[in-house]
Structure 1
Amino acid sequence: MRRLVPVGGVWLFSSASPHSRALPLPVSHSSSSALGGNMSSAVNSGRASVIGSLLALLLPISGIIATVHLSTPPVMEAEIKKAISIPCVPKISIPNTLKYIQWFVMEKNNRQRIYFQDMEASSIDVDTGYTHRISVDKNYSLTIDPVKLEDERNFVCQVGAGSTGSGEATTLLKVYGAAETPQIQKNDVAISVMEKSPAEVAQCITRNGYPVPKITWYKDSNPLQVTSQINNKMYATFQATQEASGLYTISSRLYYLPEKKDKDSKFYCEVSYRMPTGVEKEESERINISITYPTENVEIQIRPRMLKEMDNMTLECQSDGSSSVEYTFYRQLDGVIEDIDSQGNTAVINGVTRSDSGVYGCRVLDLDLLLDQIYNNVTVTVNYLDPIVLKPKAPHILTVGDKNVSISCEAGASQPTKAAWTKHKKTIVSSRNVLHLPVVTYNDAGNYSCKVTMPSVKNMSRQKTISIVVKGPPQVNCAMETFHNNGPHVNLTCVFKGYPMPKVACNGEKEPTLKYHHQKNYVVSELILPLTVEELKLTCNGTNALGSKAHSVTLERGSLLVSTTGPSTTDMSHAKSSGGVVIVVIIVCILLIAILGAVLYFLYKKGKIPCGRSGKQNIAQPEVHDNSVVEAKDNQKVPEETMLLQGVNGEKKPPNHQGEEGRCRPSE
């Protein structure tokens, strides 16, 4: 079946199946005015007729319709002074048929073209508000840079595709401007908490925002639930002004009835406004409002907190009111109140003593209210630590052998104390206030210090030093050593302890080199002599009113014999040396006896010894000598040597000679 189909103003025949229907091809809806006046309607009609005829020959007989579609956002958001790109994406059913593209802006109900592009050239329309602010890229997107407030309007993208038709799409551009940081100005006039109605606290202003910004008031980070209705607690006024630029300035005044607790509160305002990225917020600086309030409480402080005698005491009075006040200080002693000189809210008492302890206070008079005076007081304690008292008192002279000697250290104080005894300033000998000596010896003599402290008060202590003297007869402790200095020498050093101080005398058989060192409670003597092979006798003697003590040393052929008059302490190294000589002599004697016994037994077995008393042979004891002989000072013989020699030369008969005299056992 053949039908007439209008194409571009020309009717063409088209064959179609009985179930298909012919659809009219779209024609351009652009008028000559819409094309910017560059093309006449006659030219458009001619071109459309030619293109339509060609298209009719190319279209399938089945009746497919050619179309032009544009893709662009219906709404876009932009920030003032920034750039924005509005996309325009054409979709044409017949490829390569695009002939032109145009951009328009809507001026009220009229269109104004701002850009045109065809297959040959492109141009930006002159004498528009966009002549120097727009550009179009190869994808036909329109870029506006920078965006202005007047750009909040509709933008139209139009595309023509010849006989295929044309299409257009509209985008509404919404514009936003960031408001400036809010400025807060507080009211310099102080507000009394005694007022009955709210007063203006501060004003908040923010400028150049679009659309109209919003202001919110805060106190201590908490939003205030303000209302525009005047009331007796809190309200705010708001005013919006549109500037010549079209942007808005917003101001708000906060009216508030403060309380005393608001004296430390922080007030500020916040502006919020809409932006393409969402809602933005900015805060003003924080301010304290000026508030006046009467005095309700008074506090008095003492410095230093822990007082001790001779400190300078400072009394400071503080009131919690904002009004001008007068301060008066007083002292209460034995029920009598006396005023104290002061300067403002401070009073100073220099060099306090324990008698200054008592009740101190201050009175406050609020000059604005002239109410009754408000006062407060505090009890002051001046700490003290008396000089140390020792029991028994000096002199501390003890005797060697005294038992359970105690010296107590006491000091009167305003608070609990602690005491400790030290010797020679460093060694702690007692952590209590009593120095106890179970048995007195010379080692207990010396300087002792008792220190009493008050732990609760810094730098408060007393100290007293005593000297303990231990009296008694001299005691001696000697040591001997040898050294080489152009030959061997011997040095005898003796320490004599005792009180009164011993007088020491040392001598030797030869002229010695003698030195004395006098120390407290003891004397040190040094006796130095050349060491020869002859026998030397060295003696040191110490004497005081309570007795004497001597120390003697005998040197014979290189060996040392140490002896003292009365009990004394000798040098252990020399005692070991003398004892070693005796041990060596005893061992040698035992060995000789063992050898002699073996020889006698051997001769007896061999029959070399004749039977009978007359047949005994006299075996003389060989003399045993050592180059070093230790002799006691009293010339007594060593008993060990006597007993050892009796086993060889005595009259005792050996076991095999018991029985009849002269009888012999036959040899084996």
Structure 2
Amino acid sequence: MFSAVRAGRAAASGSVCLTPALVTLVLTIPGIIATVQVSTRPVLEAEIKKAISIPCVPTISTPNTTKYVQWFVMEKNARQRIYFQDMENSTVDAGTDYTHRIKVDKMYTLTIDPVVRRDERTFHCQVGAGPVGSGEAETLLKVYAAPDMPVIEKDSRTISLIETEAKEIARCVTRNGYPAPNVTWFKDRTPLHADPQMRNRISVKLQATEEANGLYTMKSTLSYLPVKRDKDATFYCEVSYRMPVGIDMMKESAKINISISYPPENAEFLIHPKVLKEMDNMTMECQSDGTSSVDYTFFKILDGEMVVIKSDGNKVVVTALSRNDSGLYGCNVLDLETDNVLVSNKTIIVNYLDPIVLTPKGPYVFTEGKKNVRISCEAEASQRLTVAWTKRKKTVVSTGKWLKLSMVALEDAGNYSCKVAIPGVPSLSRQKTISIVVEGPPHVNCTTEKFQKNGPYVNLTCVFRGYPIPVVTCNAHKAPTLMYHHQKNYVVSELILPLPTGELQLTCNGTNQHGDDDYLFIVQGDVAQAKSSGGVVIVVIIVCILLLAILGAILYFLYKKGKIPCGRSGKQSITQAEGHDNIVVEVKNDQKVPEETVLLQGVNGDKKPPNHQ
């Protein structure tokens, strides 16, 4: 007889230790005891669709004993053999679920490929040793399957914050998992757990379905009562499961936002563009921070009464604005769920700028020396204006509405521009230009310049300023031809001639209705002198009179002595005509003047204006 003792299972799943099942054979022959021991893994974990190997390690006290190996599975509470091997033959039993999925190597290790869901059962390895007896060990095989990625399905409804009970917002579905995985809902990385005390706010319904292949489909439904801050929250589900060996894993679904309807708490009335002027198009817009259905109404306050402006939606356009469109505008936001009304309004200014008005109106003709001349520049506008006066479009002469001339001078003549603008409205400005004329007697300023150009030359230039434009005449010994440049408010006389060997005198005179002024040039040899005609003319006249007196006395003395014959035939002319020297006149074309140049016809040196004749 013999008795068999089966070792217990190891406590830890997946332990690497082999637990022997000891079979002790007690022979009837006194003093001889033989044993068969079988070791295997008490628990193994396998992943479905992959291969798993279950070891079977026999230990026999009499090694040379003939032995056999058998593998069994538990099928409906009964053993079913799936493999047999003895010293000569090995066979996989036909007609079992493992006929085409197993093999056993020479070390008796059973390999299953692939593992399926129904392989989660107990496997027995039995080793027999003839008269010694037999021994066996068993392994519990646990199988795992990773579920598919969870799919989240958002409910299409919009949840109003006036609701009092949680509403279904999303469903999470995952398939082909084993064992049944866990499903957890999250909001912004914070898990959502069903709580009986918060049933009106959060509830989770979980449904597990075992499919024909033995794997599980998990369906979890989340009902939730949101608050306003949930409008930007993200919701998703997480599936957690276990895989061999002892590895916890998880998969996350896509993230969704839920549709929340909540009444507006604030309204804002806007206009585009922000700065308006006449003839602009204005877009009025009404915005609110709610998501519930609302109705917008635009209005204008006219004579204390609200006038409704027809609109479609939250925008309305007003075309071709005028200054009369300025006023108080706004909008009402009516929440259709709560009937609450929000109001927003603002005062709109349509900017305008009328034509410039100058006081006095002109013409602006002033006499030189006039005091306290003032010209104002004003315009009607929607806002306070900036005013600037400039001369010749460059130099700013005043930054207020007044152009002030404390003492009028010839230099004050010219063009002035007045520009008015509304600050902050760059496209709204106006400008007006006036011309100021200063009347006065001529003022002369002359220069003398010597230069070399194929010989010595002298340039005699005079500038006569005054208004009306002076009439300028110049005379000179031998009556040269002169050139005049007629400018605005002044005349330039210019003469370029060879430097004389003797003395040359030339007088230039400017005359208008207010007076005259002149200038005497005395050019002597290679020295050019310019003297004022006031004192020089008198000196010249006195010298000439003295010379004539001396000459007359000499002639009279000679006549008395008979030195000069008196007969016609004997007379000699002392007034022989002198041949006029040829004088070359060159006009300087590079003279820079501020206005258009007019070339005046030259006049003879002896000719004077009418008031000098």
Structure-1 residue corresponding to 2:131: none
Cα contact 2:448–2:461 (8 A) shared by 1: yes
Q: What is the CA distance between 1:296 and its match in structure 2?
A: 6.5
Structure-1 residue corresponding to 2:258: 288
3-state DSSP class of the match of 1:286? coil
CA distance in 2, matches of 1:103, 1:560: 146
Is residue 351 from structure 1 mapped to residue 320 from structure 2 by the alignment?
yes
Structure-1 residue corresponding to 2:185: 217
Structure-2 residue corresponding to 1:237: 205
Is residue 203 from structure 1 mapped to residue 152 from structure 2 by the alignment?
no
3-state DSSP class of the match of 1:238? strand
Identity of aligned residues (%): 53
Q: What is the CA distance between 1:540 and its match in structure 2?
A: 4.0
* Superposed CA RMSD: 5.6
Q: Deviations over 1:420-462 (max 9, x none)?
A: 3333323334444444556554443333333333334453333
Q: Deviations over 1:462-495 (max 9, x none)?
A: 33333333333334354635352x6554444443
Structure-1 residue corresponding to 2:284: 315
Q: Higher relative contact order at CA 8 Å, sep ≥6: structure 1 or structure 2?
A: 2
C-alpha distance 280-373 of structure 1, shift in aligned 2 (>3 A): closer
Cα contact 1:228–1:237 (8 A) shared by 2: no
Q: What is the CA distance between 1:259 and its match in structure 2?
A: 4.6
Structure-1 residue corresponding to 2:217: 249
Structure-1 residue corresponding to 2:531: 563
Q: What is the CA distance between 1:286 and its match in structure 2?
A: 1.4
Q: What is the CA distance between 1:237 and its match in structure 2?
A: 0.8
CA distance in 2, matches of 1:479, 1:552: 11
CA distance in 2, matches of 1:144, 1:427: 102
Runs (5+) with no aligned partner, structure 1:
1-26, 32-67, 160-166, 568-668
Which amino acid in the other structure matches residue 281 of structure 1? Answer: K
Structure 1, 497-506 or 396-405: larger mean CA deviation: 396-405
Of the three residues 410, 413, 416, the one matched with 1:445 is 413
Q: Deviations over 1:153-189 (max 9, x none)?
A: 7899999xxxxxxx99998776554433332222223
TM-score by length of 2: 0.62
Structure-1 residue corresponding to 2:591: none
CA distance in 1, matches of 2:210, 2:322: 76
Cα contact 2:334–2:340 (8 A) shared by 1: yes
Cα contact 2:236–2:252 (8 A) shared by 1: no
Which amino acid in the other structure matches residue 282 of structure 2? Answer: M
Which amino acid in the other structure matches residue 482 of structure 1? Answer: F
Which amino acid in the other structure matches residue 288 of structure 1? Answer: I
Is residue 476 from structure 1 mapped to residue 445 from structure 2 by the alignment?
yes
Structure 1, 300-309 or 531-540: larger mean CA deviation: 531-540
Structural mapping, 1:356-395, within 5 Å: 356-363=325-332, 371=339, 375-395=343-363
Is residue 423 from structure 1 mapped to residue 423 from structure 2 by the alignment?
no
Q: Deviations over 1:576-612 (max 9, x none)?
A: xxxxxxxxxxxxxxxxxxxxxxxxxxxxxxxxxxxxx
More helix by share: 1
Q: What is the CA distance between 1:290 and its match in structure 2?
A: 5.5
Structure-2 residue corresponding to 1:554: 522
Cα contact 1:187–1:202 (8 A) shared by 2: yes
Cα contact 1:542–1:548 (8 A) shared by 2: yes
CA distance in 2, matches of 1:251, 1:323: 31
More strand by share: 2
Which amino acid in the other structure matches residue 531 of structure 2? Answer: S
Is residue 302 from structure 1 mapped to residue 259 from structure 2 by the alignment?
no
Structure-2 residue corresponding to 1:496: 464
CA distance in 2, matches of 1:137, 1:496: 131
Cα contact 2:385–2:422 (8 A) shared by 1: yes
3-state DSSP class of the match of 2:212? coil
CA distance in 2, matches of 1:253, 1:431: 76
TM-score by length of 1: 0.57
Q: Deviations over 1:381-420 (max 9, x none)?
A: 3334444444555344445455665544444444444333
Structure-1 residue corresponding to 2:130: none
CA distance in 1, matches of 2:450, 2:148: 101
CA distance in 2, matches of 1:313, 1:334: 22
CA distance in 1, matches of 2:395, 2:136: 107
Which amino acid in the other structure matches residue 191 of structure 2? Answer: P
Q: What is the CA distance between 1:547 and its match in structure 2?
A: 3.0
CA distance in 2, matches of 1:106, 1:404: 126
CA distance in 2, matches of 1:140, 1:402: 133
- Count of aligned pairs: 500
C-alpha distance 560-139 of structure 1, shift in aligned 2 (>3 A): farther
Which amino acid in the other structure matches residue 349 of structure 1? Answer: V
Which amino acid in the other structure matches residue 249 of structure 1? Answer: T
CA distance in 2, matches of 1:438, 1:401: 9
Cα contact 1:302–1:315 (8 A) shared by 2: yes
Cα contact 1:549–1:565 (8 A) shared by 2: no
